[in-house]
Amino acid sequence: MSQLIKEGDYVLLYLDRRRTYLVRIEKGKNFHTHKGFVQLENLIGKNYGIIVKSSLGVEFVVLKPLLRDYIVKSVRKTQITYPKDVALMVMFSGIGTGSRIVEAGTGTGALTTALAHCIKPEGRVYSYEIREEFLKNARKNLKRAGLIEFVELKNKDITVGIDESDVDAVILDLATPWLVVPHAYAALKPCGTLVSFSPTIDQAVKTVEALKENSFIDIETVECLMRGMQIARGKTRPHTLMTGHTGYITFARKAIMSEAQSNPSPNRQ
């Protein structure tokens, strides 16, 4: 059966694609917009997906927030994290339910949210961040998304070292990923993955160099451009404006270079 809306839930009030609002359902609380207010209490016990009218008669659809909504609506103290990049980082990392992941830096917690969504309920995200106010903010975002219980937020400098070991993946979005590479090698299980996101080319170059020096293999750097389409019969065209750049994503796997295993030599056969 479908879940009904209950007190304490977050809902996404949808006016149109550009105007959506992530709101917590509380008794006695009204949500005010320039299109009138919505009495949130009235939504309790209703189905997600229904239409509600504001005090001015404007219709909003009451949506259940998806992972992407939590990412995009993350309260920010730093730059935006794009769902397209999060999607690729998760795919490249190979993680899934049950995975144990080290992440740094936590930032807004947007990427942390996506990672927690993927590894729950048995997995765990260890997320490093040196700026305490960022951790506070990230905690709020993770709570709102209902994922805080799968995350350990750590107010530590990951460039100094990683506490965990035998983890499945190390996911990096910080200014100096290359400084983390040796620690990541130590923390990863054999064949574990490292994924790093960096806005500048120079960061990508330094990271790839560090990966090569630290016995990572299968190294790949890509960028991803997403372009929206304006779909209307007879007038279809790509949107005029687009985000031209967010960052480069670098992927690698840990190899165990010291343990080479020989086949019997050909002349012995």
Does 238 participate in binding a second copy (rule CB under 8 A)? yes
105 prior amide bond cis, ω within 30: yes
The count of chain residues that interact with a second copy, using the rule CB under 8 A, is: 107
Does 235 participate in binding a second copy (rule CB under 8 A)? yes
Whichever of 67 and 158 has its CB closer to a second copy, that residue is 67
Whichever of 133 and 260 has its CB closer to a second copy, that residue is 260
How would you class 97 by CB atoms within 10 Å of its CB: exposed for 0-12, middle for 13-18, buried for 19 or more? Answer: exposed
Does 84 participate in binding a second copy (rule CB under 8 A)? yes
186 vs 25, 30, 74, CA distance in Å? 45, 51, 32
Does 263 participate in binding a second copy (rule CB under 8 A)? yes
Long-range contacts of 183-189 (CB under 8 A, 24+ apart): 183/158, 183/159, 184/102, 185/214, 185/215, 185/216, 185/254, 186/162, 187/102, 187/162, 188/254, 189/254
Q: Which of residues 188-227 bind a second copy (CB under 8 A)?
A: 189-193, 199-202, 204-205, 208-209, 217-227
CB-based burial, 42-80: b 16+ in 10 Å, e otherwise: ebeeeebeeebebeeeeebbbbebebebbbbbbeeebee
Applying CB under 8 A, which part among 124-132, 136-144, 176-184, 238-246 lies near a second copy? 238-246
Q: Which of residues 243-262 bind a second copy (CB under 8 A)?
A: 243-248, 250, 253-257, 259-262
57: left (phi over 0), alpha (psi -120 to 50) or beta: left
Q: Which of residues 98-137 bind a second copy (CB under 8 A)?
A: 114, 117-118, 120-121
Phi, psi for residue 181 in degrees, rounded to 5: -55, -45
Whichever of 114 and 135 has its CB closer to a second copy, that residue is 114
Does 21 participate in binding a second copy (rule CB under 8 A)? no
Among the listed residues 53, 75, 149, 160, the single contact to a second copy using CB under 8 A = 53
Whichever of 46 and 136 has its CB closer to a second copy, that residue is 46
Applying CB under 8 A, which part among 21-29, 103-111, 130-138, 240-248 lies near a second copy? 240-248
**Nearest distance in Å: CB 139, a second copy:** 21
Applying CB under 8 A, which part among 33-41, 100-108, 130-138, 155-163 lies near a second copy? 33-41
Does 149 participate in binding a second copy (rule CB under 8 A)? no
* Nearest one of 87, 83, 75, 93 to 145, comparing CA atoms: 75
**Nearest distance in Å: CB 136, a second copy:** 26
Does 44 participate in binding a second copy (rule CB under 8 A)? no
